[in-house]
Amino acid sequence: MIVRPNPNWIVILTTLKGSIAKRIALRVLLITVFASLIVLLEKTYPASFENVSSIPFTLLGLSLSIFMSFRNSSCYDRWWEGRKMWGKIIIEVRAFCRESIVISDAQTREEILKMLCAFAHALNSKLKGNNESISLSKWIADDKFTFIDNPADTILSNIGDKCSKLASDGIISEWRYLELERRLIGLSEAQANCERIKNTPLPFPYTLLLHRTTFIFCLLLPFAMAEPLGWLAPIFTTIVSYTFFGLDAIGNELEDPFGNDVNDLPTDSMVRIIERDVHRALGSIDLPPQMKPVDHVLS
């Protein structure tokens, strides 16, 4: 995620970090070259462009703008929901740490709380498409968690079993056990919602229609602009194509908020927050360092 102070107008015009300009540069360049060829054709055969009206392009552009705005809003909702779910994970972990203070066996409590860190790492690795086993090795020595389909869910189930045993042995009260179980349910809900976002993209025909319509509009636009604008047509075509292709590319990035793009959620940083909270709850003063933005990018 891009983290920088409020930029001035010079930074806005010149920065490329976090911009989608590099991703769409080739497409915009091809449209600009095509628009220049159309203008050249218009200058050579002006009679062929006299009856080309701009009204259909105005209506199509307006409809496309509304359609694209709706898609980008849907993609942003996915990005924002992902952020809320990771915020909920942090809240539930902190609450679990506070309520687990009643566990008198320090070793058992430490084992349970470190499993919460393992859960966060496992979920983060799964959402990013990384190896979950590697991320678990620091927090869980038991190899059984590295040979299962869903380590994050299995870790929560294992924590629930341990809490249930503590309750049945009378180490914690039934009320306290229900409170701890409620936190585990909250973590499970957040995990399921993150997996839903990751595994359920926007309907493909919906996205395909938008991609095709955007290309068709940008390819046809120079025919309407060549006669009235002349050699200014490629400039305005470039601006319009940059806007539409840019909005399309931004939607693609936001659709999957858990990847490694610079505008994706900083889940690594949020996992580090959970690590620090767990170490603090265990009485450690040697906390893992907070993650800082590198070149304005917080991972």
In a domain, 182, yes or no: yes
pLDDT, tens digit, for every residue of 208-220? 888 888 888 888 8
Q: Which residues pair with 297 in a beta bridge?
A: 2, 294
Domain hosting 148: range is: 86-201+265-284
Give the Cα separation of 217 and 68 in Å (integer): 13
For position 103, what pLDDT does the model report? 87
For position 203, what pLDDT does the model report? 83
For the chain, how many structural domains are there in total? Answer: 1
Burial class (CB in 10 A: 0-12, 13-18, 19+), 82: buried
What would the mean pLDDT of 4-20 be, rounded to a whole number?
64
Least confident of 143-147, 194-198, 236-240, 257-261: 143-147
Quote the percentage of the chain above a pLDDT of 70.
87
In a domain, 137, yes or no: yes
In a domain, 93, yes or no: yes
What would the mean pLDDT of 219-230 be, rounded to a whole number?
83
- 146 or 111: which leads in pLDDT: 111
In a domain, 128, yes or no: yes
Give the Cα separation of 219 and 31 in Å (integer): 7
Highest mean pLDDT among 54-68, 126-140, 154-168, 181-195 belongs to 181-195
For position 30, what pLDDT does the model report? 93
In a domain, 247, yes or no: no
Least confident of 82-91, 96-105, 115-124, 130-139: 130-139
Is the confidence at residue 195, as pLDDT, over 90?
yes
In a domain, 90, yes or no: yes
Q: Name the residue type at position 211.
A: H
For position 222, what pLDDT does the model report? 86
